[in-house]
Amino acid sequence: MRTTINISENIIKEAEALYGTKNRSKAIENAIEDAIRFRKLKEFMQLKSKISFDEKEIKSLREKELSEK
- Is the pLDDT score of 45 beyond 90? no
Alpha-carbon separation of residue 62 from 37, 44, 52, 54, 66 (angstroms): 26, 22, 17, 12, 6
- Is the pLDDT score of 48 beyond 80? no
- Is the pLDDT score of 17 beyond 80? yes
pLDDT value of residue 52: 79
pLDDT value of residue 69: 65
Q: Work out the mean pLDDT of the chain and round it to a whole number.
A: 91
Residues 6+ apart with CB under 8 A from 30: 15, 19, 21
What is the spatial distance between Cα 29 and Cα 42, in angstroms, rounded to a whole number?
20
The average pLDDT across 61-67 equals: 90
pTM, two decimals, is 0.65
